[in-house]
Amino acid sequence: MEKFYHSLTLLFLSRQGYWSDSKEVQGVSLTQLTYKYLLSSLGLIFLFAIAKEEVYSILKNYRMWNLLSYFELAQLLVPAILVLGIVYENIYVLTTKTMSTMKLFFNISDKEFFGILLVKNFIIVSPLLVIISFYNIVLGSFSSLLILLLNGVVYFSNIRLFSLKHKTSYNLSYIFSVMDIWVFLKTLLAPVFSTIVFMFMLVFVPQLLKIEITHNIDILSTALFSGTVFFGSRGLNFYFLSLNKDLPYLQAIQIDLKNFIKVRVGFLSIISWGLPAVSITIFLWYVQYSILQISIFLLGMLFAYLLCQSTQFIEALIFKQYEFKDAKELDAFSLPIKTRVILYFVRLIPVLVVLLFNQIRGIDFMVLALLNAVYITAIFYTSYRYMLSNIIKGENRVHFIY
């Protein structure tokens, strides 16, 4: 317990050194470092316990710029601040290699560090958790689960798994050596912000969207259309494949490239689709959609993600041949007009075909879902196999002399 206490103090001190000038860091106790969060939480608990309805009434009666009440604004901002707060708190852990430092100098294991980091982040966002939990206890539980998942990025980024069968070290921190943490977070969170904008418009300005999501077919069509917007920008797989320069050397030392790429593309795909899916699930549950309706919307989002990834696999092959140094250089590069036109139609045609499928009237929902599943799976599998074979074929040019 004493080791845990001292380790937690060190983590708060390292946080103080990261967000402030290093000359201002003071060797204070854990109580001094955490009292403002804990007292704020206790104060909010006391306030909501005796005057919850009065506080809500005051917030609902005052409006900002005649657009939103402060209560509605709080509903939007509190969850967003919670997510962004945890993300930015974890940035310094990854960028300053705090985990490796504490492991080396203070003999703290990965699991111990994960527990310490989890407690530290819960303390920091405890006032927000109190606000969310008093509003809805289920949302408070979801928020706690979300904190656990976001902290898992730090933990799993340092895990090494080894497969004797494939002679491959599955070090997930390898991903951060290909793209830096800022690019990773920006790319990962872009679809989440798109879903937040979609949810905001659906609740407060539905007339702008002009969509109807009361029937199963409408829900699937809406999810497909909005999903192409959520996942239309360049994703994690695109940057990982476009910027990776190690594949020829991995192949030269007889690492199975197919399995190497498959594992990482699979991992990046899960988190890229999963994070927006979690936010949409919480929102649809909050507005009282049934489990079936939520499942249909998530299915449509999955179809849209696979469709967008299919075109990004092809796009990654084109950008990979330029051998960019980093993501900044890649994003600043402009393809030749002819190539841009070709890519435009490569992206547009599959999406148009799917949207046309979903405009067919009088068709049974299960038939429509099956039609989408077969077509999109075929497109995704074909583009994935094409990408994989061309990458491996292209890396055969590098050989070592033994």
Domain range summary for the chain, segments of one domain joined by +: 1-20+28-158, 164-402
- Mean pLDDT of the chain, nearest integer: 80
315-344 tens-digit pLDDT? 999 999 888 888 889 988 888 888 888 888
The packing angle between helices 98-106 and 110-124, to 10°, is 120
From residue 16, give the alpha-carbon distance in Å to each of 13, 20, 198, 338.
5, 6, 36, 52
Q: Are 335 and 318 in contact (CB under 8 A)?
A: yes
5-49 tens-digit pLDDT? 888 888 887 776 554 544 555 567 788 888 899 999 999 999 988
Range name among 28-32, 152-156, 212-216 with the lowest pLDDT average: 152-156
- For the whole model, what pTM was predicted? 0.69
- Three-state SS annotation for 198-213: HHHHHHHCHHHHCCCC
* DSSP of 27-38: ---HHHHHHHHH
45-94 tens-digit pLDDT? 999 889 888 888 888 888 776 667 788 778 777 877 887 788 778 777 77
Range name among 40-49, 175-184, 334-343, 376-385 with the lowest pLDDT average: 175-184
Rounded to whole angstroms, the Cα distance separating 281 from 137 reads 16
192 or 377: which leads in pLDDT: 377
pLDDT of residue 165: 44
